[in-house]
Structure 1
Amino acid sequence: MSDALFRGWLLAWIVWSAVPFGALVLVMIHTVTGGRWGETLAPALRPATALVPLAALAFLGVALGLDHAFPWASGKGAKPDVLRLYLDPTLFLVRAAVTLLGWSALSALCLSGRAGTLTAALGLTFYGLTISLVSVDWILSVEPGFNASAFPADVALHQILAALAFAALVSPPSVDARSASDLAGLMLATLLGVIYLELMSYIVAWYGDLPPKAAWYLKRGASPWGGVLVAGLILGGILPFLALLFSAVRRSPSLLRGVGLLVLVGVAVHFAWLVLPAYGDEASSAAAATVVALIALVLLSGFASRLIVRRGGRLRHV
């Protein structure tokens, strides 16, 4: 039972934290580039960015369950040199601490208005470096042996896409057609980037035909995971893409909310497809625990958001 709980918490945390982490990236990008789109999305992105420290705190559940969620934490599932030099519990926690504390500091600087163009640019550089490490730690290392150079970029794009979908989902009815169109364009561009990276990663793995990569994909292509993959592709990729091709959808905040919901479900299903097959016959219990943990995290973030607004008023937009 404890294995399922900690594995479920890991997956739920990965899914839920994608929104605040992606929101932080978008806020930093806007600080560097400027543009109307940042003004439009600020009411959604800035409160989401304020949840980054909460996401860092929630990672304690992952840290406490290392032995249950990651086979290498108990000295199994990876080569001795890998265990000694990289997949070591202490090194894993140090990398996570540096990353999450750094992202939390960046969120505080951005929300307080103290992050100028240089700080935001350095913050994006820090994000790029750290996501290259922790995306492997938090997701791929549940089943050591598979690696892909494009995987960190894929995770980063999923986080950005989740933040944009969240912004679409919570957008107020007062959003005008022009602002809705800006958001739709960003979602469409990011969605195309995700689809491209996913497809090219598979093509490269298929062409290389290396046993570890082939085994990883074959496991996730077998029943029931092949169906999960198709469901995620349809819900989070094909349907939103087709919908965003129509100008009536792009200019309608209410229709964009539906697209945002589809994308968020698709992102969650995709992360489940990445993580759960590693647990074999125990994947179903981990999936059930994920649903419970995800509901708890959503409720917790809702309470935290109300508390932030109550104590600090509206987050100042700079």
Structure 2
Amino acid sequence: MRTAVARLAATRIAHPPLLIGLAVLILAEALLPVLGLLMPIRLLLRGWLAAFAVWSCIPIGSMTLLLIHRLTGGEWGQAVAPVLRPAAMLTPLVALALLPVLLGLRDVYPWAADPSTIPTDVGRWYLNEVAFVIRASMALAGWSLLAVIFAAGPGTQLLAGLGLAFFGLTISLVAVDWYLSLEPHYVATAFAAMIAVQQLLAALAFAVLISGPTIDGKVAGDLGGLLIATLLGVVYLELMTFIVAWYGDLPDKSAWFIKRADSGWVAVLIVAILFGAVLPFSMLLIKSIRDSQRGLRIAGSLILFGTTLHIAWLLVPAFEAQGAIVAVACAVLAILVLASLLIGSALQRVLEASHAE
């Protein structure tokens, strides 16, 4: 870890894209209050949250995969490490990217704008602005530390195990805070697990999409199997959530699904299922495709497309002015991706040099 940090500070080649990437993100955040004079700030922040939900899957999922590989081993982890390490090192950037949401909680979350919309004891002891920020800070600080340690070096298996336990605890809290509390009367016990598996799926799909020629044969087959497992995990958790809600026939749960059942959002979900789940799953069942880098890349790109649509289906129907929010989210996502590519390219050079020693 010290070697990687020292190289990052000393390597001139790494500085320009790193600083430019940070400047792009900071400038975008600084412009939000200015743009808020032209359009409602709540639309900007809600679009920012939707984009953040999609983009943050890859850094957080990459960090988690590094921890998993440290415990389990396997050639698959070594093959995609050049992608997972710099992607995981972007986890501190996740904290910076969430800052506008934390500063504008009352413009994003109904319970923050009007605490009377939730039970008094829930607001007092759990779902309030101070507790929200504390939980987010705790999770992001811990994830960032784990990401830096395991991206810069192997870390220990004990720390990896403890880190996964910490991740399991904190994702159970912040996934509900950041996303599910947009509609605080809806409760789904599997939601946090679904978000965690979705992050793993997105990180794997990203890794196979941009990895080099080291992915072939058995390694490609292993990665294809991991994609199948995580893809089935997301679909299973989403389906079971729907079945439990349908079987329970409770008004709050029904209202949540009714918002997502109009013709437009049903079409989004169908496209996400067909192109982001059914098609890549069918491809990965064929051994010749699963064992080829080209096949994995096609499947990975489809999965990332489906992930984007799935998260949009989960979050955007909670808001009004959905068209404007989608437009803002697309613009913000482009900014986050640009900043990530710039910073990630700098980090990749430093980490490759460090691990080559």
With normalisation by structure 2, the TM-score equals 0.85
Task: Measure the CA separation in 2 of the matches of 1:230 and 1:16.
Answer: 22
Inter-partner Cα distance in structure 1 for 2:255 and 2:191: 17
Residue in 1 aligned with 2:56? 17
Please state how far the C-alpha of 1:172 moved relative to its aligned partner. 1.5
Tell me, yes or no, if structure 1 residue 54 matches structure 2 residue 93. Answer: yes
Question: Please, what is the CA RMSD of the aligned residues?
Answer: 1.6
Per-residue Cα deviation, 1:272-298 (whole angstroms, up to 9, x for no partner): 111111113x11111100000000000
Answer yes or no: is 1:301 the counterpart of 2:318: no
Instruction: Give the distance between the partners of 2:109 and 2:356, measured in 1 at CA.
Output: 40
Distance 1:58 1:314, change over 3 A: farther
> For residue 33 of structure 2, what is the aligned residue in structure 1?
none
Aligned equivalents of 2:279 and 2:353: distance in 1?
35
2:297 counterpart (242, 248, 257) = 257
Q: Give the Cα separation in 2 of the matches to 1:309 and 1:216.
A: 42
Q: CA deviation at 1:235?
A: 1.9
Q: Which residue of 2 aligns with 1:287?
A: 326
Check 1:135–1:113 CA distance in 2 against 1; reply closer, same or farther (3 A cut). same
* 1:6/1:65 contact within 8 Å kept: yes
Q: 1:72 aligns with which of 111, 115, 129?
A: 111
Look up the match of 1:91. Answer: 131
Per the alignment, residue 157 of structure 1 pairs with: 197
Q: Could you tell me which of 120, 131, 143 is aligned with 2:183?
A: 143
Answer yes or no: is the 8 Å Cα contact 1:111–1:315 preserved in 2. no
Identity of aligned residues (%): 48
CA distance in 2, matches of 1:154, 1:75: 28
Is 2:280 aligned against 1:240?
yes
Equivalents in 1 of 2:211, 2:78: separation in Å?
13
Separation in 2, partners of 1:92, 1:317: 41
Provide the C-alpha distance between the structure 2 equivalents of 1:292 and 1:82, rounded to a whole number of angstroms. Answer: 35
The answer to whether the aligner puts 1:31 opposite 2:49 as a matched pair is no
Which residue of the other structure, out of 149, 157, 165, is the alignment partner of 1:125?
165
The residue aligned with 1:179 is 219
- Give the Cα–Cα distance (whole angstroms) in 2 for the partners of residues 74 and 32 of structure 1: 43
Q: Which has the larger radius of gyration?
A: 2
**One-letter code of the match for 1:87?**
L
The answer for the alignment partner of 2:234 in structure 1 is 194
Counterpart CA distance in 1 for 2:193 and 2:88 is 20
CA offsets, 1:98-155, max 9 Å, x none? 0000000111221232620100000000000000000101111111111111111111
Please give the alpha-carbon distance, in whole angstroms, between the structure 1 residues aligned to 2:245 and 2:295: 37
Could you give the per-residue CA deviations for residues 162-189 of structure 1, whole angstroms, max 9, x where no partner exists?
0000011102235322221111110011
* 3-state SS, counterpart of residue 355 of structure 2: coil
What's 1:228 paired with? Answer: 268
Name which of structure 1's ranges 86-95 and 169-178 shifts more when overlaid on structure 2: 169-178
Q: Does 1:4 align with 2:51?
A: no
Q: Distance in 2 between matches of 1:139 and 1:275?
A: 7
Say whether residues 1:211 and 2:259 are aligned partners: no
**What are the superposed Cα offsets for residues 39-69 of structure 1, whole Å, 9 maximum, x if unpaired?**
1221211111111111111111221221221
Contact preservation (8 Å) 1:109, 1:115: yes
Are residues 1:103 and 2:123 paired?
A: no
Equivalent residues of 2:276, 2:305 under 8 A apart: yes
